[in-house]
Structure 1
């Protein structure tokens, strides 16, 4: 593990550094972070797809607190389909990860009151190093050069699935071009497209999670335009 979970990287990309507010629909971010945790567990060899379900094959903790909480929950419960796990895990996950980032000094929690009675929280960046590294890796992957490592490819796959191109500062044709490149990276890593159990257990597990993530986001936001 890297010390920074994929779900944390997605969240930091989705929140504006200055205002501390989400720059994308929260439903898609919540679904994306749930999928990111499952992808993280698959990459770590902790879960695998088997007979229609994601199953824990190694309950050893990874060292990432939020990821390990999910791993323990999956080990305790009956196996569920990738679609079911994405929906089950999305509730409360964003607040849990934001709390961890606050404790580590990556963002700060700014509490405000709107309309005299509505309490809202913003999370402006305190330590930009984590997000800077995330954006650097994505930029290198998008601009060609050597093939990205497995984790960066997984991150690119998730960014494409949750339609996060605007969070990268891109709109219009630029966003569409980057979206295509992100999908190429996902396909090259075996994380999307044809799912073959002959290649590895990890890749079909991730491809299935990404597929159901896309379906859930389409259901929530409508088809991509």
Structure 2
């Protein structure tokens, strides 16, 4: 199993029975944002003004992240981050779920809703919380409870779960306003360089904006 941000985000976004804690398309937006952030923190891409640019085309060793990097490398004209979210979101979930199944972390279950509509769920292979997810939750909780520097990837993941409104579900016993304030503070205070903090914050804000628009559109359509 890979240790990428997108893998961590995926496990957090599913409960042990394979039900989604994050709706569509927010789940896919979050996965795409996680891959972009992983590439950024690995020094492979950066933001030059408003555009995503490749700073190092060397593979990271993660097949999913490297497939995303290849797509950015092959693009002739630089794009803004929002122009990359949807192209990445179109294929990431399937790739990530498949490798979690292959690694024995999740199992693929097929059934029918109301005995008619086919459904595929990805439940924990053991029936309990995967060990990898437990470790990630522990790291996130330690960051929220601590007052020192937070590892960059942990800070980025906290920003993502906040962006798709998942944080309050992961930490239901915490005050919602205090939780948001702490995550915001971590995002501002735990980066080695202002430029990195601004780039990460921009991607997280973009995910939050796209999620909000999709929710509003769904409400209008179903009303």
Say yes or no: TM over 0.5: yes
Aligned Cα RMSD in Å?
2.1
| Equivalences, count | 212
Query: In 1, distance between residues paired with 2:103 and 2:140?
Result: 23
Unaligned runs of 5+ in 1: 192-198
1:119 is matched with which residue? 118
User: Are 2:217 and 1:216 equivalent residues in the alignment?
Assistant: no
Query: In 1, distance between residues paired with 2:155 and 2:203?
Result: 15
> CA contact under 8 A between 1:158 and 1:210: conserved in structure 2?
yes
Q: Specify which of 132, 141, 144 is matched with residue 142 of structure 1.
A: 144
Unaligned runs of 5+ in 2: 217-223
- 1:202 deviation in Å? 3.1
- 1:156 deviation in Å? 1.0
Query: In 2, distance between residues paired with 1:214 and 1:167?
Result: 16
1:70 is matched with which residue? 68
1:16 is matched with which residue? 15
- Write the deviation string for residues 159-206 of structure 1: whole angstroms up to 9, x where unpaired: 1111112431417x6233222211111121359xxxxxxx45533322
Q: What secondary structure does 2:69 align onto? A: helix
Query: In 2, distance between residues paired with 1:169 and 1:157?
Result: 14
1:103 is matched with which residue? 102
Query: In 2, distance between residues paired with 1:67 and 1:28?
Result: 19
- 1:109 deviation in Å? 0.5
User: 4+ residue runs of structure 1 moved beyond 6 angstroms?
Assistant: none
- 1:108 deviation in Å? 0.6
- 1:149 deviation in Å? 1.0
- Write the deviation string for residues 121-152 of structure 1: whole angstroms up to 9, x where unpaired: 11111261110110000010111243211111
TM-score normalised over the length of structure 1: 0.86
